[in-house]
């Protein structure tokens, strides 16, 4: 535990004792992720590319998340990555990475698992719908589908403007 300048005691990050492999499970119902029916797997390479840039541009006020981001740069560094099965992330790593899932698959290889087709696709269809404005609220539904049309992710979002 580390005491910050404000006197708040924050729990530090305890990194996983496993190596990272070429592919990493980032979003999945197996993690209990809201709205996920399928799973999304990204390459360690794309996490490395994102984390090594992001670490210099941001500061996370949650100590464990900041340390997890710094650790991801080392963990996903090409010379530290091993061949193997898909690697699972811990809860703190998911807190750092999940909101950037869109960045991690942009121009990068990824895999989308459809539980209905029981197939690992090299792409999915982003059928996100903008549902329009009502008063000071804007609504949209993020829908990801497998190439065969099954829903992999469904999240309704409402933005409120002030
Ligand atoms: Zn499918």
What pLDDT shows up at residue 42? Answer: 97
Query: For 82-87, what is the mean pLDDT?
Result: 93
Residue 76 lies in a domain: yes
Residue 15 lies in a domain: yes
Of 159 and 89, more confident:
89
- Residue 152 burial (C-beta neighbours within 10 Å; 0-12, 13-18, 19+): buried
Residue 162 lies in a domain: no
Residue 137 lies in a domain: no
What pLDDT shows up at residue 162? Answer: 76
- Cα angle 8, 12, 18 (rounded to 5 degrees) comes to 165
9: Cβ–Cβ under 8 A, 6 or more apart, which residues? 1, 2, 3
What pLDDT shows up at residue 2? Answer: 52
Tell me how far the alpha carbon of residue 126 lies from the centroid of ligand 1, in angstroms: 13
DSSP H helices in 1-117: 44-57, 63-75, 91-97, 101-105
Domain residue limits at 114? 2-123
Tell me how far the alpha carbon of residue 81 lies from the centroid of ligand 1, in angstroms: 30
Chain segment 3-57, per-residue pLDDT in tens: 555 566 778 999 999 999 999 999 999 999 999 999 999 999 999 999 999 999 8
Region class of 114: left (phi > 0), else alpha (psi between -120 and 50), else beta: beta
- Assign 128 to helix, strand or coil: coil
Question: What is the rounded average pLDDT for all residues in the chain?
Answer: 92
Tell me how far the alpha carbon of residue 49 lies from the centroid of ligand 1, in angstroms: 29
Residue 140 lies in a domain: no
Tell me how far the alpha carbon of residue 144 lies from the centroid of ligand 1, in angstroms: 11
* Site of tokens 């010379």: 79
Asked if the model's pLDDT at residue 140 lies above 60, the reply is yes
Beta strands in the chain (DSSP E): 2-3, 9-10, 23-27, 39-43, 87-88, 110-114, 119-121, 125-126, 129-134, 137-145, 151-160
Residue 48 lies in a domain: yes
Tell me how far the alpha carbon of residue 65 lies from the centroid of ligand 1, in angstroms: 34
Q: What is the pTM of this model?
A: 0.87
Query: What is the total count of domains within the chain?
Result: 1
67: Cβ–Cβ under 8 A, 6 or more apart, which residues? 12, 13
Token reading at 15: 């990194």
Residue 71 lies in a domain: yes
Residue 133 lies in a domain: no
């Amino acid at each position: 535990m580390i005491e910050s300048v404000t006197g708040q005691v924050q729990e530090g990050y305890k990194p996983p004792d496993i190596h990272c492999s070429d592919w990493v499970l980032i979003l999945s119902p197996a993690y209990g992720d809201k709205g996920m029916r399928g799973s999304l797997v990204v390459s360690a390479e794309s996490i490395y590319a994102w984390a090594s840039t992001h670490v210099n541009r941001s500061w996370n006020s949650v100590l464990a998340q900041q340390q997890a981001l710094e650790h991801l740069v080392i963990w996903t560094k090409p010379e530290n990555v091993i061949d193997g099965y898909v690697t699972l992330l811990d809860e703190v790593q998911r807190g750092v990475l999940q909101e950037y899932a869109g960045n991690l698959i942009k121009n990068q290889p990824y895999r989308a698992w459809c539980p209905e087709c029981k197939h690992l696709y090299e792409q999915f269809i982003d059928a996100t719908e903008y549902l329009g404005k009502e008063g000071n609220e804007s609504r949209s539904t993020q829908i990801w589908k497998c190439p065969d049309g099954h829903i992999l992710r469904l999240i309704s979002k409402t933005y409120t403007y002030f």
